[in-house]
Structure 1
């Protein structure tokens, strides 16, 4: 029998007793306190406002054979078209966490909600990120307990593929770096690149010469913007480039890192804005916001209008005391700071097809209206095959 509380698709379906399920992901959970198995199903309500019917249904079973649909959805926020990849877990702090992905709606990406019991109600955390673990392009994340450390979980997600020739985002992508997840003192989830991954890439990389990348940098510019592009030599376009740095002092409107910047100054940015009390707003920004038709037509400045941006990922109330880790892997950008993550796939400039970079710089620094003092700057790059220059399809040297 079909459960009429949930949407019945016209596409191929799979039968589960009491519920017709679409090809959205589900999670099986071991027995609860009264001996039942749980299964979470990402689906949609049969009724209600069309664009916000997404929900997560709960099914229970005593034997993994016969399943019963719970009277009410486990979670129905009324602000998402359809959730994906749900999972639920608890941590030693006693809180329960519902994690799922949302491809559309406010704060798209992999998000989490918090409850005192596995039945909810699951609340949006007041964590400065609206419950987002990253941006919309780090997606379909799943986690598992970290062996030997019950306070932490290891989580994996992919960063979406982009067809540059068709200017379309695709389903699926490259697996992001291995991340560790834990709860802070306010029970909010925090995320970072795992120490095991950091140790591995340290062993498999080489330091950029200090003569090319100084370990500290002081930038100051009052009422305007100052930039600095380190001369990285052959290391600049190695496939993998890792950058660590700390902020010793800052009195600026904004500062940060410029990514893939051309000779006109157009490029993506990792941007830090001071919020006072030692905290920052951190955002990944597109290379240049598009213009509306009036200005574009008047000045014949036709800039692409991508579905993302101009603000790609943003987190507020971020501490930079422990520094910033930036990992560039081909066109992929992954940033970790203050228990937050920011990820994206940079577009490949059209002129790269001919192997020409035409003055494009992979990495630089900027400060706007003020000063910033960066210290403990450490840049490393991947080793080429037999430490020689091996060009990949996108013009970046491959690592072993």
Structure 2
């Protein structure tokens, strides 16, 4: 078990509701113990503080769940804002028992605070989906912002249209308010007939561009974004419309005034097994968001996270297959019609691997092996495939004809003889991969607990200038 990426000691972290003030990120999050018998039913909100995404202050539970007969037995995702010197939370009150009792499962609810630690719920401010427009039991994840142009507060919600193809009714609903108490439900903000639902909507602006962020579980289980020069749309999709893989979900964003970050979670898998069902909640993962010249977004590791791994660890290469030139941290092989691999000793449980990788023309694949052995019959591959312009995570042995771990794929432009800079962070079963300061690939490594790490090339030529760090 690792100890770098945050999770509560006695449970798991799910959706994060970020805020920044006085030099500190305040991260409200949904906590799940996965132990109803011991901790009871429902999910409350807890609060974390961090200045660097490395060290965290635990402020404890701040928004307690309601009882079994109350709307907010499960306090699901929402948002926080500060208005007139007071903090406001808008959150989802969810109760799975209510539909069978003829009550609505979900409502938007309101709480206020003067210090972010002690919150007062305002039950009379709760409101529900408008039944002529929306399905009544899907009304969640409110995100509130001040719309300067309209002169009012706007609230975006995850909702479902009342009519249309059942698996395409997902939409971003819109409500408006002058006082943060009374809300008018309007026509949907965005209803594209693309998904079952658009969870955890989030909205921000950089320069001339607005960005709409949301998460889905029907097309792909990922966090998407769309972009527009106007709040009225159209909301267009970039070529790569996701921040990460299946292993980074429900991301919401916030800025410290200089940089914007996406806060999501790397989910666990049932039975702690590589083929186990993905679960709700896991460890906190933070990506820094950059805007490219064309307005599209990229993600990279926050500088403070990279700097936390400062102790360089010496290692020695060992050629396992193929002919290698091995010296210090450098490894080069030519394997025009074969596979070549060199290993570098036992992979530490918590570490960072950095590499400047380049490859020759017509190279089929190259990359890294993790937690393998001398036979290379088990372990993981981080495989860059130039011909397919992608990087994937693979595991061996694997089932049937699945070419890599399902959902563990990210697009990336790869050019011969052009250096690709790679960072790999391993923290127990959590694996975070970044390339060229542009893309992230989050993953889990369960079945192989330990083993060696190294580099490989398949049907081509590749060179690696590699370093290994611990904290």
> What's the TM-score bracket when you normalise by the shorter of the two chains?
0.7 to 0.9
Q: How far apart, CA to CA, are the structure 1 residues paired with 2:142 and 2:414?
A: 33
Q: How far apart, CA to CA, are the structure 1 residues paired with 2:353 and 2:194?
A: 37
Count residues in correspondence: 331
Residue 272 to residue 216, structure 1, CA distance change in 2 (3 Å): same
Structure 1 segments of 4 or more deviating over 6 A? none
Which of the residues 127, 140, 157 maps onto 1:16?
127
Residue 110 to residue 331, structure 1, CA distance change in 2 (3 Å): same
Deviation of residue 332 (structure 1)? 0.8
Residue 247 to residue 145, structure 1, CA distance change in 2 (3 Å): same
Deviation of residue 67 (structure 1)? 1.2
Q: 1:166-214 CA deviation, whole Å, 9 max, x = no partner?
A: 83321111011x3210210111101000112222332xxx211154693
Taking structure 1 as the reference length, what is the TM-score of the superposition? 0.76
Answer 1 or 2: which has greater strand percent: 2
Deviation of residue 165 (structure 1)? 5.6
Moved more, 281-290 or 76-85: 281-290
Q: Secondary structure at the match of 1:29?
A: strand
1:158 maps onto 2:241 in alignment? no
1:37 maps onto 2:150 in alignment? no
Taking structure 2 as the reference length, what is the TM-score of the superposition? 0.65
Q: For 1:301-320, what aligned pairs fall within 5 Å after superposition?
A: 309-310=405-406, 312-317=408-413
Q: 1:294-322 CA deviation, whole Å, 9 max, x = no partner?
A: xxxxxxxxxxx99x934512213257746
Which of the residues 243, 265, 270 maps onto 2:382?
270
Residue 199 to residue 309, structure 1, CA distance change in 2 (3 Å): closer
1:142 maps onto 2:142 in alignment? no
Q: Secondary structure at the match of 1:16?
A: coil
Q: How far apart, CA to CA, are the structure 2 residues paired with 1:125 and 1:96?
A: 13
Residue 316 to residue 60, structure 1, CA distance change in 2 (3 Å): same
Q: Secondary structure at the match of 2:189?
A: coil
Q: How far apart, CA to CA, are the structure 2 residues paired with 1:24 and 1:74?
A: 14
1:52 maps onto 2:142 in alignment? no
Q: Secondary structure at the match of 1:270?
A: strand
Q: 1:243-286 CA deviation, whole Å, 9 max, x = no partner?
A: 1111244342111112233545233321112249xxx4222234
Residue equivalent to 2:366: 255
Q: Give the conservation status (yes or no) of the 8 Å contact 1:84–1:102.
A: yes
Residue equivalent to 1:78: 193
Q: How far apart, CA to CA, are the structure 2 residues paired with 1:229 and 1:77?
A: 49
Moved more, 184-193 or 158-167: 158-167
Please, which runs of 5 or more residues in structure 1 have no aligned partner?
1-8, 293-304, 353-359, 383-400
Q: Give the conservation status (yes or no) of the 8 Å contact 2:221–2:249.
A: no
CA RMSD of aligned residues (A): 2.6
Q: How far apart, CA to CA, are the structure 2 residues paired with 1:247 and 1:264?
A: 21
Residue 85 to residue 170, structure 1, CA distance change in 2 (3 Å): same
Question: Could you say which structure has the greater relative contact order, defined with CA pairs below 8 angstroms and 6 or more residues apart?
Answer: 1
Residue 363 to residue 104, structure 1, CA distance change in 2 (3 Å): farther
